[in-house]
Structure 1
């Protein structure tokens, strides 16, 4: 320590400190038997804002190594000391030693943001070389090339760049021009990556853990190499269970068997090949009741055998376990392609997917898909592959990966020591001990009822699970679950959390009958027969002040035309009526129907009397249900999006952009009508180049004045008006067949609708639905 302090003072790395804080100082032994100073900065790190600069991922980084033959590994000397601590912040790094109180002038190990800061610095220095022939992970640098001549130039470029930036390497830890190199715990050779034998030997010699902490340390080390172990999750499952805080640590025969099997698997771990983009990929997938598994392979041109490139294995979530076998198998395909998308999407050759579920072979030719399958099919369309059936007897690799340890399998439950009459007491003790253990990190605030146990955030879901779903409660309703919790437990949001938990319980949803009234059926608003006969109104508020204005929105439900009128404030009912007369009625005539929300302007007697005097009906949407006035809400979103785009640099001047946005909206094609609102309302499109309109005008429209006047008359022509009404009605009724089938078959409705219709006028079974749909709705 005395030598380190003296050398650091002489080198200008530290200085005596008068800081009011101080951390503990100690040494740890490095791999070369030298000592590395370490300081316990846990208190400082806890209050430090974290730097989110990402460290590089090893899996994507190893992809460019597929054709590399020559490697050089460099290690930067005293890397962190090359970064200066900001002047004025040195006192935060103060540390205590028997020789005195000191503080650092340079960055050191132990600071939470040190890795991110150093990675960002090295990336900036070597950015133009990264992923071309260079990979950098903190102070470890790997240079790779396809030939010796090329490698000499690459090494020279890297060393020259480091020298220019005063970054120096430690010669005794460097390896130059080798064909096999140990890097980040892996052995990298030509076209291969495998586990480091030194690390594997460490696993083989690992003594049996005697505490939960020792077991967690072993599993953390072993999990680093799980990509090399087929069915790793299944083998390690008995050991993983022992790390749970719900049960005491007790080494069992199953754990001993898993511990020895895991060590043996590491000794015989297979070699993973680097994926070669020029070769065809093979994806083998399978799904079981508890998990999914997949293997990515390529066939070697030399021996024509499949060699593994990567393994995938994960458990199914509770919701995914409810899928039928077909959906689980399809989920395995989707998850595998998502995991290896960077290799499979845009592959040089169409890849093959092997599955033991024969129905998946007809996925792309299926006529009917549910919403989940349709979403997955849309994702699969991005890939070029062949889905091939393979019997389960020949699909053993992914099948083994998918067979994760099932927590409900017989033989995995601990033996019952207490008699059955005392099981309830044992359950209570376990949840109580779990809550008390969590209170160490989040103690009782002391403002709760006396004699009640405060439940920290980390254990509330487990307490709710125990109170609602355990054998002593058997899924009661909300009130009885809450009363049960009130016997012992307390936390501020207990009532709200209990209501949400009980409402989301899938077991209750399947096993209990519903007492809710029957849901209504979806019924779209009627399609108008002419422009501006049915209009919708809404206000857009909350915008930054622009000449003191808010905005009123008016939309024609037939042509989808809009008017945006800037206003100094939210108008009253009388002011709204005057605005309609000024900006709508004088241009388009008096409408038949006015749709709006239940704002005070539209629910007042003044507004009702105004519409009654006009002879127009009033349609108010359901409270807190903007979907009822969907066209206006969509126009709101388009207006706000346009304002964000065109007025981003000058938000206070949005008012000046409203005419341009209105013109753009009215002149662009609308998907619902198949034409622009301008065309639907006036029968012609606004010219793009008015000065050249005479030269480009179509011959059929310049022959006679009658033909020119035909622009305004086209709307009333049967073929034109019918086409516009047909397009609008088709869009409005697109969702009716599946929505009605959902309500009829499942008896549920996703959300409350504005309008309801009696069930007697709707079809009563699937056959009647199809017949009624073909005759009453334009079916697509």
Structure 2
């Protein structure tokens, strides 16, 4: 393929000609047929002009160079023209490009490719420019290649010529091209380098007059042929290399290496290197070749040459040349085919690796597949956890005395309700003595009614506690309770969302209460009549945590029960009153013993629980997924197919007791629609999963598009965030919003 626009920057030089300003009228392109009675102008009759040097640009470029280098460039300033201004074709060189055809060749002519209006307009503009500069001329011969357009990185169009038909019948040149590895071997031991890059080198060699018709190409406007050598011709590299070898034949591999239009001057000492570029530039001047100053490098310890960096330290690859290969997304597409497609099933690491390895091999394939699967958003939300639960058990701090800290919870609803209308039980437990109060109530009880019960059954007998631990029941999280705690200066503590193990003992008490009721309640459903008996039985039983019964730990004696009347010693109890000091010492001993037993019990409980748990890796600022089993986030999805986790959410702060060795709960930043649904934002670590945010390494991986929501028969999508806003210039103006859609990538 031929890049004809490179010819626009060519400007040859004539040493003896006088510079005469000309303003010729550019020829226009007409759709009328070309008359054969007027032959096109010959090459020899075309006027030429030498290239102009921009003195200001030359001074600006050489300002920061060493004086010796600056003097060198100024001496050979005519070899570094800033622009070309001429009419005609390049000057005659010793080497010209010829096109020799095989004996049984066939004239290749092909109808022009179809072009869009934009492409045809750009083609006409560039052809007029090429015709004005003399790079092309009208052609009446039967040869004809096709013109096509390729879009460049800056969205402009590049004109290319398809010479595959001509190249097929061209005798291939056997002129040898230099081996790059042999060229690099010649550089061993050299410390100074100068690189000279020719300006559009191919275009500085003309095509033999007899072979110019073979370069013809057709367009929708007219037929043209090239007068200069261009890219796309099969023997063009050999022709150019032969020209360069002829120019530098006496100094090749002494201090000059040439590969096409790349000239490298090398020397061991600085003194030698200041002389060698003179010889190179002098040869270019004598043979009429131009160099591009902006791409030349003078007296350097390190230069780029043939895709490598050459220096006195050795040879290494230019990173820019391998970026495309290093970032080639083939691996992503391959793994996506065996992991993300419906027939792949989003399998785990080992199964995905096994399928990929059947057909593909590349370095570090195992690590690539492992990271790819680990960062898959769908797998992170759906796959079950295969590790020990987070976190190591962190018991709550031990209270200082009786009824200073209590736990409360509801059991219910218990259906059908009892004859007295009770369908729930309010359980209140003193966290120090383990004494429990069981109060029958209605499950739909209000927050104010709960307060009345607490004051009647707890505060009246034991005083106001310093802290109360609840679960996430709405009756405990209401504004009424919060205001009550502010008035009485009581600390309000909550269990983590959907993690009742935060307050282990209240859960044990609830389980024990249910077991006792199952054993004593019959089919009459009057379970609320038995709660008093259950409470007495529970508080008389020795607690494993304290080593004594809750009654004895709280009251220093066991209240009498019917069984006590069978004991003779209790028929006539001792009425003597012990001394006050002895009673205080006795109570202190009881509290100390209870505290020691609670500490030992918590230690045993933590050791037993931690055998099947592990420490968590979370910290503030991490992205996590949240267990969704307790939340109905996808109303239209079957329960068995609900996703296990939702997110990702950012951890905002840690929430835990002052005595805990590590944080066991975290507050997270929920999305707006979850906050509006009053979803709590504090979660125990056992409900969290680390989120592997997709990295730029896997750009191009497919992502799952969420299904739309049907609203009034129309498909709607959830808005995750509003990024920007603008007002249009319409009349009347409209407000437009830039939105980030839920479930779609940024």
TM-score strictly above 0.5: no
TMscore range, shorter length: 0.3 to 0.5
Larger RCO of the pair (alpha carbons < 8 Å, separation 6+): 2
* TM-score of the pair, normalised by structure 1: 0.31
* TM-score of the pair, normalised by structure 2: 0.33
